[in-house]
Every structure is written in structure tokens, then in C-alpha cells.
Structure 1
Amino acid sequence: MRQAGTFELFAYWDELRRGRAAPERADLDPVAIRNVLADTFMLEVDADRTYPFCLSGTRLSALFDAELKGRPFLSLWNQAQRPEVARLMQMVVDGACPIVAGAAAAPEGYDLTEFELLLLPLRYHGKTHARVLGRIAPAKRPSWLGLIPVETLDFLSMRVLDGRNLISARGAARATPANVGLSPSFSSCEQRRHLRIYIGNT
């Protein structure tokens, strides 16, 4: 994680879960994360796995110059990359994996700006596969933000977060965790007590 706001939200989520795979939606206190609320959002895990927005912060809405509530999260991404982002979301939801990712976007005619994306699983009324808490923010605030909307985001990279350990990767839903002796690629992971199990593609 490169941004202080991303670390703040992850640390708060990690504290709330108290050793569980994910905390409850009701555990969240907006006041506790007021410094990052403008960049924060919440997604519903729907039957079609398009992940519509339940809530979106003001700066995220300004990025697209639109009210995002009800809009599918997958629709924000470059169309060719949506299957990759869908696999990424599957890891978050089915494997209860917190993930940080890199993205880029810009209005036509402007240089790309890099963004940091955080995705965190949430329970809702005791149900898993229910909600995803997230944050997306630029590394540096571009001059056009809030004035000219972007059309879509480009997916660049991802990391699976496991408290103290970070597993780096390039591309969607893939990693090369050679330093911890795991399979060179995986499609999902799951929590079993104190162990996190990574499920390979082969």
C-alpha cells in the first residue's frame, strides 16, 4: 500500500474483523473513517456478480461525474479487462481476500493518472458473499478531477493482503508467491481458522 488513506482503511477493517475472515457491515462506523470517506465505496454482491454500488464517496462520484449508486462496479472498467476484474472480485468475495490493486484513468487528451484501489470483504446480517468495502484514490490529485469525467478505469496490477504478508502480482487474479513456497498462480483463497489457503489454477 502506497497511500496513507488506503492503509488507514485497511487497518480499521483488520481491527474490526478480530481474527475473522471479514467484519460485519454493522460494525462500520463512518466517523472512525471520516478522513477517507470521500474516496470510499461499498458494493453489493448481486446474483449476476456485477457488484452494484450501495454507497460511493464524493470524490469517486466526481471522477465519473455521476451518481454511482446502483451502477455495476464492473462497468467502470475498460471493457476488455472486465473478465479480469470479475476474477479479482471473485477472489475478494469467495476467498474473503483483501486486495489492493493499481489502476489508471484520464479524460481523453490527458496523461494517465495512477490510482490505488482497495477491496475488502464484508459480512451482512451474518451472511458472507454479501458486501465489499473499497477505496480508490489517485496518487496525486490531477487538475481535471471534478471538472472532466473519465470514461473507464484501466486495471494495472494487484496484491493480496494478508496482514503482515503481501503477495505481489501482475495481471488479474494471478500471483507469483515463490518466496513463500506457494503455487506460482492461484484463482482464489479461503480462510480456515488461522490459515489462508490459496487455490491454484492448475
Structure 2
Amino acid sequence: MILPVTRDLHDYWGRLKGERAAPDRAEIDPVAIRHILPDIFIIEVDPERRLPLRLCGARVNALWQREQKGRSFLEWWRAPRREEAAEAIRRVIDTQTPLVARARTARTAPDRDAAEFELLLLPLRHFGKSCSRVLGSLAPARRLDWVADCPVGPLDLVAARMLEDKAAQGSKEERRCGENARLAASNG
């Protein structure tokens, strides 16, 4: 985890979780994380696995120049990479383990560079249901001056790793995602 947004959200989630696998959605206090609210989102884990966004911060909305609430998390990803994004969510849900990833969008115009992002996915309980929500953050690796003029394009998953306890404390293990690669939980 490189970006302050990612570290702050992960630390906050960890304090709420304590010894449990995941905190409950009702425990999230927006005031406690107001400084990072623009960069966070909550995904509903629905039976159809459409993964609708239930909450989306202002900076995340600004990336696509439209409200993201109600849209599918999978719509953020380039069509060939959607299965990798879905697999990342499945890993978080099935293992109740956080995931951190790097994502990239292609160049959207000749005068605009490709944009890189850090993505964090954290399991949440909701009304006692085990991992029925995912709390996340999406933040650009550097300032995007052009985003007000041009929305970001679909994302590609570049690299991802599960954050086991010792991984969260500094393990450098990372699984690279190839064209047809699946995310796999690191072995510690």
C-alpha cells in the first residue's frame, strides 16, 4: 500500500474489525474517515454477483464524470479484464481477506497519459451477513489534471495481492496478472 488513502482506510477498517474477520457496515463512521470519503465506495455482494455500487465518493464519481451509485463495479473494467475484477471480489468475499491492487487506464486522448490507480477492497458484514458488502478505495497514483475535461477510460488490473496479516505489515509478495491470469491468494 503506497497511497495515504489506502493506508488510512485499511488502518481504520483494521481497528473496527479487531479480532473478527470483518467489521459490520453499521460500524463505519463517515466522520472518522471524512478526509478520505471522496475516494471510497461500497459494493453490494448481490446474489447475481452484479456487484452494484451502494455508495461512491465524489472523487471516484469525478473520474467517470458521473454518479457511480447503482452501477456495477464490473463496469469500471475493460471487457477482457472484467473476469479478473470479479475474481478479485470473489477472493475478498470467500477468504474475508483484504486485497490491494494496481489498476491502469489506457490513454484517453493523445495529450493525456495513461493513469495509474491504487485499489483497496475490504470485506464488510451487513446486518450480520458474512461479507455481504465490500468497502473499497480507488485513488490515482498521481494528480490527474485532465480528469475534469475527459473521463478515465475502462481500467485494467495490473497487479494484486491479498493482505494477510503479515502481508499487511510489509510482505512484498505480489501476484502479477497476465492476460488470462486469475488472482490467487498469496501463501503468506
Q: Give the structure-1-normalised TM-score.
A: 0.84
Letter in 2 for 1:133: L
Whole-Å separation in 1 of the counterparts to 2:119 and 2:23 = 19
Question: Contact conserved, 1:168 with 1:175, CA < 8 A, in 2?
Answer: no
Letter in 2 for 1:11: D
Cα RMSD after superposing both structures: 1.4
Whole-Å separation in 1 of the counterparts to 2:131 and 2:8 = 24
Cα displacement (A) at 1:174 = 2.8
Whole-Å separation in 2 of the counterparts to 1:133 and 1:175 = 19
Cα displacement (A) at 1:175 = 5.6
2:129 corresponds to which residue? 127
Tell me which of the two structures has the higher relative contact order, counting C-alpha pairs closer than 8 angstroms and 6 or more residues apart: 2
Question: Contact conserved, 2:102 with 2:119, CA < 8 A, in 1?
Answer: yes
1:164 alignment partner, SS class: helix
Letter in 2 for 1:153: L
Gaps of 5+ in 1: 181-202
2:184 corresponds to which residue? 174
Q: Does 1:64 align with 2:64?
A: yes
1:198 corresponds to which residue? none
Q: Does 1:100 align with 2:90?
A: no
Question: Contact conserved, 1:124 with 1:130, CA < 8 A, in 2?
Answer: yes
Say which is worse superposed, 4-13 or 108-117, in terms of deviation.
Answer: 108-117
Specify whether residues 175 and 95 from structure 1 end up closer, same or farther in structure 2 by C-alpha distance, changes over 3 A only.
Answer: closer
Cα displacement (A) at 1:44 = 0.4
Cα displacement (A) at 1:148 = 1.0
Whole-Å separation in 2 of the counterparts to 1:59 and 1:102 = 17
Cα displacement (A) at 1:100 = 0.3
Gaps of 5+ in 2: none
Whole-Å separation in 2 of the counterparts to 1:84 and 1:18 = 29
Question: Number of residues paired by the alignment?
Answer: 178
